[in-house]
A = this chain, B = another copy of it.
Amino acid sequence: VAENGAQVAARLRGLGYRITPQREAIIEEILAAEGHVTPRLLARKIQKRMPAVNASTVYRTLQLLESAEVVRHFHHEAGAEYHRVEEGKHVHLLCYRCGAGDDLPAALADQLRDLVSRCHGFLPDLTHFAISGLCVACQQAEAAGDPGG
């Protein structure tokens, strides 16, 4: 299902957008990124390849790509992060003690969504905000009285 850069570009063209070298580079960089990227990091990566590219172009392109459903963003402690839509099923878990990130298995995520929906009516999108908490290792450390970080 995962599109490559050329396919994304073709789809954008079909929507009436123009394909510029800047946009090609930004698309490629996002598709190449595993997981998620902040706009600022993405801007830095792009500027390594094409130093003249302005940060505002990166921000504008991200908005464009989100409206074209190529990417999506979610929020965590440090702000917003972008990822390709195909990787959007992840529920992001963040340990507030050690900072480790993890993902919720899809089956469990579905179960949570259905439970909220059935019991409360609200249909949650658990992928849009991260979930803070304690990872297994840090729970054990806390139980053992380890002061930790």
User: Chain A residues in contact with chain B, CB under 8 A?
Assistant: 75-77, 93, 95-96, 102, 104-105, 108, 111-112, 115-116, 119-126, 128-136, 139
Give Cα A94–Cα B35 distance, bound, in whole angstroms: 25
Task: Report the minimum CB–CB distance from A102 to chain B (whole Å).
Answer: 6
Chain A binding surface, main DSSP class: mixed
Q: Is the CB of A96 within 8 A of B128?
A: yes
Residues in B neighbouring A76, C-beta threshold 8 A = 75, 129
Q: Given A75-B75, A75-B77: A134 and B122 within 8 A (CB)? A: yes
Task: Report the minimum CB–CB distance from A123 to chain B (whole Å).
Answer: 4
Residues in B neighbouring A112, C-beta threshold 8 A = 112, 115-116
Given contacts A75-B76, A122-B135, 7 further A-B contacts (CB under 8 A): A93-B120, A108-B115, A108-B119, A116-B133, A121-B135, A121-B136, A128-B133
Q: Is the CB of B123 within 8 A of A139?
A: yes
Q: Is the CB of B116 within 8 A of A115?
A: no
Considering residues A116, A119, A129, which has the most beta carbons from chain B within 10 angstroms of its beta carbon? A129
Task: Report the minimum CB–CB distance from A77 to chain B (whole Å).
Answer: 7
Closest 5 CB pairs of A and B: A128-B132, A124-B133, A129-B129, A121-B136, A123-B134
